Amino acid sequence: MTRSPLILAWRRFAQNRGAVIGLAILLVVVIVALLGPTLMPQSPWRMVGRPFLPPLTDGALPLGTDAVGRDVLTGLVHGARVSLMVGLVSTMVALLIGVPVGALAGYFGGWVDDALMRFTEFFQTIPSFALAIVLLAIFQPSLFWIILTIAIVSWPPVARLVRGEVLSLRTREYIEAAILSGQTSLQIIIRQVLPNALPPIIVLASLMVATAILLESSLSFLGLGDPNVMSWGYMIGAARTVLRTAWWLSFIPGIAILLTVLALNLIGEGLNDALNPRLQRREE
Amino acid sequence: MVRFILARLVKAAFILLAILVLNFSLIHAAPGDPAAVMAGEAGATDEQFLEDLRRRFGLDQPFHVQLWIYIKGAVQLDLGYSYRRGMPVAELIWDRLPATLLLTATAFFISIIFGVIAGVAAAARQGRWSDSIISTLALLFYATPLFWVALMAALLFSVTLGWLPGFGYETVGANHTGFARALDIGRHLVLPATTLGLFFTAIYVRMTRASMLEVSRLDFVKTARAKGLSPGVIQRRHVLRNALLPVITLAGLQAGQIVGGAVLTETVFAWPGIGRLMFEAISQRDYNVLLGVFFVSAAMVLLFNLITDIVYVIVDPRIRITQ
Amino acid sequence: MSLLSIRDLAIALPKGADRPHAIENVSFDLAEGEILCIVGESGSGKSMSANAVMGLLPEGVNPVKGSVNFEGGDILGLPERAMQAIRGRKIGMIFQEPLSALNPLMRIGAQIAEVFEAHGLLTPGERQRRALELLREVHLPDPEKAIRAYPFQLSGGQRQRVMIAMALALQPSILIADEPTTALDVTTQAQILTLIEELRQKRGMGVIFITHDFGVVADIADRVIVMEKGLIVEQGAVDDVLLRAKHPYTQKLVRAIPGITAGEKQDFEAAPVILKVRDLNKTFTTGGGWFKAPRVVHAVNKVSFDLRTGETIGIVGESGSGKSTCGRCIVRLIEPDGGSVEMGGVDMAMLKGAALRSNRKRIQMIFQDPFSSLNPRARVGRILTEGPIAHGTPRREARERARELLELVGLDASAMKRFPHEFSGGQRQRIGIARALALDPDILIADEAVSALDVSIQAQVLDLLADLKTRLNLSMLFITHDLRVAAQVCDRIMVMQHGKLVEIGPAGKVLSEPEHPYTRSLLDAIPGKAYEQALKQVVEAG
């Protein structure tokens, strides 16, 4: 019976209680994000009731209304879509920048490595949140720019990780064997190196989605979100000034962010344990 | 050692220079007339002021000349002028910098100290309930939005319980002096510094715990046991010191995030630092202030990095001696 | 009366291991002043009883039966506190990896002084003085400087001396040495063995010496225990076990040890030269930066030789001699700085891009580590066909050939569908050989190809290589640190030291009448030579 490493990894993942809980939470959020807008087609910006309606007082508006009478539940459902999309797309863009940079730097070494790593180090040193603020303030906040900005400030760890992995994989003997067998550098990077560097990249990516969601909510909180889409961070930012009178308006979207990010972190940890099992060499 | 610091300083200078180039490029990349961008939203209608800017920054001259003028100015600490506030940006930042330094440094040390202590405690009790509690809390705070914790802390400890001030740097109109003033500022500092530090504490807890467990498995720990040393000495002298190395590296990398996080904390707690200044500049479209704060916070990050580099060198003889 | 006496010891492995017990029914005694060797292959459980004596078993591995009697009491399962008083003071221990066994952040002196501190002995000043004396006693060069050094500033052998100084600081009555010379070069190994022997005589302590190397056993043991799969299969005085082994497993191990005398060798003087290496050069520059001068190491220094068709040349040397770098420069896994590597009229050192790729197919490599030489995410079928496909062979044909190759190296064709982690070390090495052969090369470079294997598996792989070589008329460069292995497979041997070729000649001549003093010191350091003679006489006597 031959078992692929993937099936073994899935079994280890399924044994991790935290990871399974995280996966369950994330599935709920994903379903809400996918189906929510169909089930609640009305605009989250529309006034539907009297302002400051506390939660659990009106059956039609279970989570109450905000300072201008908008439905909190609708906002939450539409926000889920924005948060997940920004998280996923910006992570993908960051991977598209970081993986090639890291792979080229690690594989070719020498001046290529020097140049690319100086560049990466520069982006890693500058305070990323401040850079994101400056970029969005100058280029006007829109979903496109928000995603790009988050990708720009979050790719350096990917590049560093991939470079490190590639550097250590590069000296493995099976890479040397592949070189000797006449495969081209590109073939070797894609077929031999990257598949083996994948586990830590997947783990990092799952954590990056979480960080990107946090970053998006922080930017929206500061008023740098896309003014046309409802997001969790915006909801908290808008409710900040009425914290004393209507605390739940800040509290509820915060819990939504917390649960989503927590779920992603749990999944990331589960993936880490599942994909990088510590080689338990039994001492003889 | 001196060589090492010198090399780091040269590198830092290059990074700052690169940031200036980046800033300048951003001004040009922004939609609209660069002079109008420099002037900010408020000043863009004042033709006289725009003309003045064009002349000063040579905006009718080739790109590299403009860049040179810009960098020369910045090196002399001229970060531009805020039309909106009627003050040079450098002066504005200089006024607000101490508050931010106080906040970020406090948060930084709080998070390192508590993070390492809790991480060591969790690793020592691996698998027991105290480890579970510490690890779960760390996981939770790692997933919590910084600004939301700040809001909730303000709500609970300031609004509801009334234990601590949730607003500002010191009590306005109290005119405290000396120790009384320090105490007053300290009380105001508790909530912002703690909430800013929480996220980073969580990171250090997780890192320290993982690192301690990793090092405990290394051969030299077995050697230490074979000598007959007690578990306490082994943990302190052999495991902890080695486990701290990656934590220090991480602390350096996180410095940038702490400075960034200050924008959120200062906004929530009305802390009069450069983060709050940045927040105000966003809504006012005061680009000179934004870019200035960005530049100065980068300089702060480089300073934090330099400190952690030096600490690393002191702790790790392999680098100290081969350098 | 014996110093230590172990009775019926059984140690359980965690659930899910390949067997329930790491060791079972283990009983033996250690007498005062005696060196007892426990020998076995990997997975035999040879380290387990020693670790149990120290109370240093890995987590999840626990003794379940038996007793360890020491100084009139059973110390098995004593509370941690009581064990602390015994460790270091009554029983000292040294380990395999002298680099990782020392704390990288502490000075040598402090690490030795710690032993006294652990047992509350002496004042800090006296501890430093004793540490210095100990470093002198283990013959560490320049002890005054070494005491202030950090581990990374010492060589492997020096670190192992420090470990010994540390283990002996409190004059324990027992020293446990767990593969203490496995990670060391052969000359360093000889020095450490001499040191252990010297200290044993001086102090009259009992030594438990764990090793996989029968040569080492023959040189230092008084008594021997042979272990297989957790059980003691044979124990007795060294000559009884090594020369007159009763158990078939021991006999098999003894037979598998390659002899140091070269057997019948063919002369290839007349054969055509297939690979002509001239003035091969490679320097490595490390460190360096804006404020610092770089360090230059001459890894390969003007090496020239000819390899003839069908011939095997052994490249031997210690770690850092440049033997591996030399092999990698020839196939351009490392870019040589200068010199030429001529193969069939083409200078390999000058080729680029596609021309390099197509010429390189004639010269393939077999690697050392069976765990890192196969891509863990590729099935064996893919591993064996990638090379031919890259050179334009149709997929079907390549797969057909792969099946033939598996058979050729003694594996079943069903291996095609499996992943590397499903095979043992020896089987992986066979797959590695099949991969090298997939491109029908003329020359094989084997880089420490059997060094990571147990001695019985090693013999099988060497036989396979010899067989393939004659069947396919291959020429081979055999890079190894092990002169015994070189003696067995090589027609000619070249010896490298510090990047230089110091001697090259027919295997028999280099091994029996070496010209260069370095070759002589290498040969002198090989453990178990006297034993080999004795064994030969026993075998000849029937």
User: Does residue A261 belong to the interface with chain B, where contact is any CB pair within 8 Å?
Assistant: yes
Interface test with C, best of A114, A117, A174 (most C CBs within 10 A): A174
According to DSSP, the β-strands at C91-94 and C174-178 are: parallel
ipTM of the complex: 0.86
* Burial class, C410, CB count within 10 angstroms (exposed 0-12 / middle 13-18 / buried 19+): middle
Beta bridge partners of C297: C284
Closest alpha carbon within chain C to A281: C43
C92 pairs with which residues across the strands? C175
Backbone angles phi, psi at C282, to 5 degrees: -150, 125
- Give the minimum alpha-carbon distance from C391 to chain A in angstroms, rounded to a whole number: 7
Strand partners, A71: A65
Pick C292 or A173 by higher pLDDT: A173
The pLDDT, as a whole number, for residue A281 is 32
Question: 10 Å Cβ neighbour count for C182?
Answer: 15
Which comes out higher in pLDDT, residue A150 or C371?
A150
CB contact under 8 A, B224 and C114: yes
pLDDT at C292 over 60: no
Three-point CA angle C391, C395, C401, nearest 5°: 85
C-alpha to C-alpha distance for B258 and B297, rounded to whole angstroms: 10
At residue A227, the pLDDT reads 86
Full pLDDT tens readout for chain B, 323 residues: 777 788 888 888 888 899 888 888 888 877 777 777 777 766 667 778 778 777 777 777 777 788 888 888 888 888 888 877 888 889 999 999 999 999 999 999 899 999 999 999 999 888 889 999 999 999 999 999 999 999 999 888 888 888 888 788 887 777 778 888 888 888 899 999 999 999 999 999 999 999 999 999 889 999 999 999 999 999 999 999 999 998 988 888 778 788 888 999 999 998 999 999 999 888 888 888 888 999 998 888 888 888 888 888 888 887 777 65
> Is the pLDDT score of A169 beyond 80?
yes
Say yes or no: A180 contacts chain C, CB-CB below 8 A: yes
User: Is B225 at the interface with chain C, CB within 8 A?
Assistant: yes
**Is B140 at the interface with chain A, CB within 8 A?**
yes
Confidence of residue A284 (pLDDT cuts 50, 70, 90): very low
Q: Is C353 left (phi over 0), alpha (psi -120 to 50) or beta?
A: left
Provide mean pLDDT across the span C468-483. 92
Chain A positions in Cβ-Cβ contact with residue B305 (cut-off 8 Å) = 125
How confident is residue A279, by pLDDT bands cut at 50, 70 and 90? very low
CB A265 within 8 A of CB B180: no
Question: From CA B248, how far away is CA A77, in angstroms rounded?
Answer: 41
pLDDT at residue A197 is higher than 70: yes
Chain-centroid distance, C-alpha C468: 25
Pairing type for strands C295-308 and C273-286 reads: antiparallel
What pLDDT digit, counting tens, does each position of B116-162 carry? 999 999 998 888 899 999 999 999 999 999 999 999 998 888 888 88
**Residues 384-413 of chain C whose Cβ lies under 8 A from any Cβ of chain A:** 386-387, 390-391
- Closest to C177 (Cα-Cα) out of C80, C62, C51: C51
What is the helix (H) or strand (E) element at residue C434, kind and residue range?
Answer: helix C425-437
Question: Counting one residue from A and one from C, how many pairs have CB atoms under 8 Å apart?
Answer: 92
Phi-psi region of C499 (alpha: psi -120 to 50; beta: other; left: phi over 0): left
**Residue reference for tokens 């993070």:** B115
| Paired tokens of B178 | 């000396």
Helix (H, G, I), strand (E, B) or coil at C278: strand
> Which residue, among A124, A126, A142, would best test binding to B if mutated, counting the most B CBs under 10 Å from its CB?
A126
How does residue A68 score in pLDDT terms, banded at 50, 70 and 90? confident
Q: Is the CB of A210 less than 8 angstroms away from the CB of B143?
A: yes
**pLDDT classification of C293: cutoffs 50, 70, 90:** low
